Structure 1
């Protein structure tokens, strides 16, 4: 045992190494390392794993949000393009409708103008005919008066009407 003790204390006289103390310290270190592994390192690694999962989920969520935002932007752009096309077609349709209405209004005005011209022409013709008839009546009356003075006799109403009708007939044939 002496030799074992001597072996364990190598160079103890000269301030050497005590192997027993080293073994005890090594055992204590290994036990401490096991305890740290079980009570500190395990929870620490679990916490780091949870943190890693949390960050990974946040990155995935951000990526999905970015993709959703891009999709919504594309949809909004397409909707805006469609709205512009609809607006352009409405404007074009309004222009076509306005052009058709313009043509219709012009045509209606032209027809109304022609109708008014025709009505005025007919009215003028009626007035002319009426004036001619009045003139004929006056001429007939004057002719009867002149004839009665020339003949110096009085005509009966029947004779007068007969003369008027003859004169009107002759005047109408001269035209």
Structure 2
């Protein structure tokens, strides 16, 4: 096999022409498409990173909101407990005051009834003593004398208490 220079030169020229044509019509558009694709992928990755960052920020914000809501709920529960304790104390205090008032009223009523009974007993004793005295003296005592005797007797009885 012999080496032919003309064939070699024609092959190289054909290869160069083919390379120039491919460069102009095939490689350049292909490289542009690949560059656009690279930029699109890069943009999508940047968007994904931004979305991830936003999602993380949103998750943190939600966690903070949840924590705040829990704290507010705890505060509301504590406030309700304090209110119920305060209301229970107020009810107990009112009940104690009412008990003291009723006890005082009962004591006053008892004292009034006692005084009424003592007064009635004095009147009864006075009437009986006048009647006994009248029978003993065998004389009729008039109302003026009777009132005087009753007053004296009541003074004596009242002084003995």
Q: CA–CA distance in 2 between the matches of 1:153 and 1:88? A: 94
2:50 equivalent among 58, 64, 88: 64
Alignment of 1:66-81 (within 5 A): 66-81=52-67
Map 1:21-60 onto structure 2 (within 5 A): 21-60=7-46
Aligned mates of 2:146, 2:127 — CA distance in 1: 9
For 2:23 and 2:140, how far apart are their aligned partners in 1? 162
* Residue range with higher mean Cα deviation, 69-78 or 120-129: 69-78
1:166 aligns with 2:156: no
Q: Displacement of 1:17 after TM fit?
A: 4.2
What TM-score comes out, normalization by structure 1 length? 0.82
| 2: CA distance, partners of 1:162 / 1:41 | 150
1:127 aligned partner = 113
- Cα displacement string for residues 67-125 of structure 1 (whole angstroms, at most 9, x for unaligned residues): 11111111222222222222222222333333333332222222221111111111100
Cross-structure match for 1:88: 74
Greater relative contact order (Cα < 8 A, sep 6+) = 2
- Unpaired runs of 5+ residues, structure 1, are 1-14
User: Quick one: distance in 2 between partners of 1:133 and 1:45?
Assistant: 129
Could you tell me which runs of 5 or more consecutive residues in structure 2 were left unpaired when the two chains were aligned: none
1:32 Cα offset (Å): 1.8
Q: Alignment length, in residue pairs?
A: 161
RMSD of aligned residue pairs (Cα, Å)? 1.8
1:155 deviation in Å? 2.2
For residues 29 and 155 of structure 2, what CA distance do their matches in structure 1 show?
Answer: 138
Task: Measure how far apart 1:21 and its partner are.
Answer: 3.6
CA distance in 1 between counterparts of 2:143 and 2:27 reads: 151
Q: Are 2:150 and 1:157 equivalent residues in the alignment?
A: no
Distance across 2 between alignment mates of 1:173 and 1:96: 60
Offset, 1:18 = 4.0
TM normalised by structure 2 equals 0.89
Segment drifting more, 142-151 vs 43-52: 142-151
